[in-house]
Amino acid sequence: MSRRKHPEHVNHERWLVSYADFITLLFAFFVVLFASSQTDKKKQIKLAEAMQSAFTPLGTFDAHSKTPPLTDINAAAITKATLTPLLPTTSTETLEQTKARLTKLLAEQVAAGHIPPGGMTMRITPDGLVISLHEAGFFPSGSAEVRAASVPMLTILATTLPAGPLRVEGHTDDVPIHTAQFASNWELSTARSTAIARLLLEHGPINPVNLSAAGYAEFHPVASNATEDGRTQNRRVDIILLRHPGASQ
């Protein structure tokens, strides 16, 4: 007499294996999404700066622009600058008095090592007070990125210049430049002047209506380009405190 076969036991919990695999894959998926969302912030800033440099027109700027500044400014340098005791500015101050006051502040910045001797000079011309920011004190060679160490002096200028029309002019020597960023001295001089203009607007109460910026390449020299010393003097950004409002147009 044959034995009765018992039915095989059916495992009703096999679905747990598939469910566990599904949860594991879902976890891995979200890990990949999280990792891909953590992009390099510095690369984002550099990309934004490059796009802004390409599309920003020549002229005045919005003092409350939401785009990142053209330069990577050291926050500690800005904080230090704001702690520097500033001399009062009066609307009746003459150009000679402004020059004397800024000369004293400049000496303090040179003594603090923020600007090398001769990095900034001043002269009075028929147009007004010309404050020359020389390349050695404010820009790396062939670059429009403002040195972080010079930000305190620029902050002082932005907060103490008398109210009135300002013109920022970029100048170079006659040595040609052709890089991925600057096709010629026209682009370099313009980028430098706009970088200084942006800093003045961001760190002071300057009215954008009173500010203009332009680049003149090598065509407005103040010295001969035949010597190294002359070329050094020509590589500059001039901030001109104009005598007459109409001169800024």
Block means of pLDDT (10 residues each) for the chain, 249 residues, are 57 71 81 65 59 48 43 44 41 86 91 90 95 95 94 91 93 95 96 96 93 96 96 97 65
Please, what CATH class does the domain formed by 56-248 belong to?
alpha beta
Ranges of each domain in the chain: 56-248
How many CA atoms does the CB half-sphere of 171 hold within 13 Å? Answer: 24
Q: pLDDT value at position 31?
A: 73
As beta bridge partners, residue 168 has 213, 239
- Indicate the burial class of 74 (C-beta count within 10 angstroms; 0-12, 13-18, 19 or more): middle
- Indicate the burial class of 44 (C-beta count within 10 angstroms; 0-12, 13-18, 19 or more): exposed
In the chain, the amino acid numbered 103 is T
Q: pLDDT value at position 17?
A: 75
Q: pLDDT value at position 141?
A: 93
